[in-house]
Amino acid sequence: GAVVSQHPSWVICKSGTSVKIECRSLDFQATTMFWYRQFPKQSLMLMATSNEGSKATYEQGVEKDKFLINHASLTLSTLTVTSAHPEDSSFYICSAKGLAGEANEQFFGPGTRLTVL
């Protein structure tokens, strides 16, 4: 139980294009979803927190107009990287929190590797 999927697993795009990443909780309702970015050999960096039906809360330094987050249902959140540039190339990971597992436990998706040419 408590499975989170992400799609796509990897994506290569040209500079200037937009990329949408989906995060789904498959067998539980995710009241909160988190989006992280991880550069090679570095730890996870929280980008934003989203609660179902409300606007996402972005961390300092993360441009909300560039990284659009939608959490329209209790099982789906999307991250859209608008006008992607090579410096946006990274490993993007979502996690979800709900009633499953330990209190406050986050279940992670498998991640999406984005390469912007």
Partner 1 sequence: GQNIDQPTEMTATEGAIVQINCTYQTSGFNGLFWYQQHAGEAPTFLSYNVLDGLEEKGRFSSFLSRSKGYSYLLLKELQMKDSASYLCAVLDSNYQLIWGAGTKLIIKP
Among 13, 20, 49, 52, binds partner 1 (CB under 8 A): 49
Q: Which of 14, 61, 86, 104 binds partner 1 (CB under 8 A)?
A: 104
Considering only residues 8, 16, 53, 110, which one is a binding residue for partner 1 as defined by CB under 8 A?
110
Q: Name residues whose C-beta falls within 8 Å of residue 32's C-beta, 6 or more positions apart in sequence.
A: 49, 50, 51, 52, 96, 97, 98
Q: Does 109 bind partner 1 (CB under 8 A)?
A: yes
* One of 44, 62, 68, 74 touching partner 1 (CB under 8 A): 44
Residue closer to partner 1, measured from CB, 59 or 63: 59
Count Cβ neighbours within 10 Å for each residue of 66-101 and write b for 16 or more, e otherwise: ebbbebeebbbbbbebeebeeebebbbbbbbbbebe
> How far is it, in rounded angstroms, from Cα 75 to Cα 33?
9
Site of interaction with partner 1 (CB under 8 A): 34, 42-46, 49, 91, 93, 101-111, 113
